């Protein structure tokens, strides 16, 4: 990809969180950017607000003429686009340079000092914390994030080109396109079995990812994972370790023991032990850029969070509303742990939207076990994303296996009345589908 020859960049699936960050990058460096996405969303509207044109019909006639020259146009697509997509096939048949998002990300970051965050859970929060820590301690970075950082209200940051922060996504083996200097692996739970077929095959892909790290690079691995690296953990003998954890005024206070320094009384405001681990490995990675440990500890305390990652929507004495991206049993367990620790003894209602028929099928018993922790549960229909329905796989099938004392399948149109009828003290919405678009409506109604 010779960037000098590329004047136009066309995105198929431009509204995806990772794709929109890349679109912002090319727009920022002066390329002409346009694209297709099947649904208008807040992300696509934000792209349009900075001059990027977006249309929502798969129609070759809607592609502007400027993008129909194979010599000057790069086409970027997401693996979620079906092979029958008309625009994709037009570009393919006309001999355009077509690349997956992961390939382009690998090429952009290849000549930078690259920090890559891998793992089946925690990538977005960890990369957002890492970008915040580096920025706060004076390292100028380019960051491509899988969520909207509440610290800079974007999924993209470009303040310097020597250092980059990226999510190393295991979906479709995308992370094997990266060549990081410093990487971490936060978790390796079985997921994306529609791609990998088995947890063992997924683990092999993570092993292959570790071989992508540049010579003299560093790999940080959560203690207990079956990969060799510099370990991190809570209250154990890891190389980077959090000790003496306590909760004070809704925040964690703890000590960090590490090769560089032993820090006392560090504060962190994101609930959940999983987020403590995310903060710890972000700290460990940021140290590799030469940032002072004491300054990084201060920056941990000022981290605001990530939209849809245990994000407080309302926080009153009598009512709390939290929204979370949890879409895997392990993530639901983490959300339950955080709610229980931060809001003990409260009447909790969970609203869950399953994501993908295949994931629901592959982990149905684990989902049922995790969701059964919540005494009150409302469930929405499965969000299909890129998939066609699978016979016998439905939200009702999953709900029948859940053992919560109160459980109910509801339509989105009836969601707010059902929430009100339950009269919770703590409400948590969970899922990776379009449940995020309901959050603002719920908040306005319950404010």
Binding residue numbers for ATP? 119-125
Which token pair is 117?
């965050």
The helix (run of H) or strand (run of E) holding residue 430 is: strand 426-430
Phi, psi dihedrals of residue 330, rounded to the nearest 5°: -65, -40
- DSSP character at residue 228: -
Phi, psi dihedrals of residue 384, rounded to the nearest 5°: -80, -25
Which token pair is 101?
């998002």
Distance CA 343, CA 339 (A): 6
Residues 6+ apart with CB under 8 A from 21: 144, 145, 155, 156
Checking DSSP bridges between strand 182-185 and strand 113-118, what pairing results, if any?
Answer: parallel
Cβ atoms of residues 323 and 308 within 8 Å: yes
- Binding site: what residues are annotated? 119-125
Q: What Å distances lie between residue 221 and 218, 301, 372, CA to CA?
A: 10, 23, 30
Closest CA to 42 of 180, 163, 147: 147
């Amino acid at each position: 990809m010779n960037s000098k020859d590329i004047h136009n960049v066309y995105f198929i699936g431009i509204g995806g969180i990772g794709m929109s960050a890349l679109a912002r990058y090319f727009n920022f460096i002066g390329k002409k950017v346009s694209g297709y996405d099947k649904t208008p969303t807040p992300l696509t509207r934000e792209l349009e607000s900075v001059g990027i044109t977006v249309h929502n019909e798969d129609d070759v006639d809607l592609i502007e003429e400027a993008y129909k020259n194979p010599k000057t146009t790069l086409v970027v697509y997401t693996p979620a686009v079906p092979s029958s997509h008309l625009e994709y096939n037009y570009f393919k048949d006309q001999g355009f340079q077509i690349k997956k998002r992961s390939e382009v990300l690998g090429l952009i970051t290849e000549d930078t000092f690259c920090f890559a965050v891998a793992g089946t859970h925690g990538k977005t929060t960890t990369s957002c914390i890492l970008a915040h820590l580096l920025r706060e301690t004076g390292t100028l970075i380019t960051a491509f994030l899988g969520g909207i950082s509440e610290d800079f209200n974007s999924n993209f940051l470009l303040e310097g080109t020597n250092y980059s922060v990226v999510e190393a996504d295991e979906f479709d083996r995308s992370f094997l396109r990266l060549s990081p200097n410093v990487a971490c692996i936060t978790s390796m739970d079985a997921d994306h079995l529609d791609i990998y077929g088995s947890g063992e095959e997924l683990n092999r892909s993570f092993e292959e990812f570790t071989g992508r790290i540049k010579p003299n690079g560093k790999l940080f691995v959560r203690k207990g994972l079956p990969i060799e690296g510099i370990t991190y953990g809570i209250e154990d003998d890891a190389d980077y370790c959090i000790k003496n954890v306590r909760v004070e005024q809704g925040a964690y206070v703890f000590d960090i023991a590490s090769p560089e320094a032993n820090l006392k009384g560090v504060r962190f405001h994101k609930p959940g032990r999983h987020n403590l681990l995310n903060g710890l490995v972000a700290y460990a990675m940021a140290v590799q850029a030469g940032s002072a440990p004491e300054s990084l500890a201060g920056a941990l305390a000022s981290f605001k969070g990530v939209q849809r990652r245990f994000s407080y929507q309302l926080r009153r004495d009598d009512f709390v509303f939290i929204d979370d991206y949890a879409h895997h049993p392990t993530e639901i367990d983490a959300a339950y742990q955080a709610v229980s620790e931060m809001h003990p003894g409260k009447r909790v209602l969970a609203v869950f939207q399953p994501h993908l028929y295949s994931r629901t099928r592959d982990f149905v018993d684990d989902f049922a076990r995790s969701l059964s922790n919540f005494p009150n549960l409302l469930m929405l229909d499965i969000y299909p994303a890129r998939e066609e329905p699978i016979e016998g796989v439905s939200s009702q099938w999953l709900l029948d296996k859940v053992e919560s004392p109160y459980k109910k399948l509801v339509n989105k149109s009836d969601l707010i009345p059902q929430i009100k009828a339950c009269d919770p003290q703590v409400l948590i919405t969970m899922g990776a589908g379009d449940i995020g678009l309901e959050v603002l409506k719920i908040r306005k109604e319950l404010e």
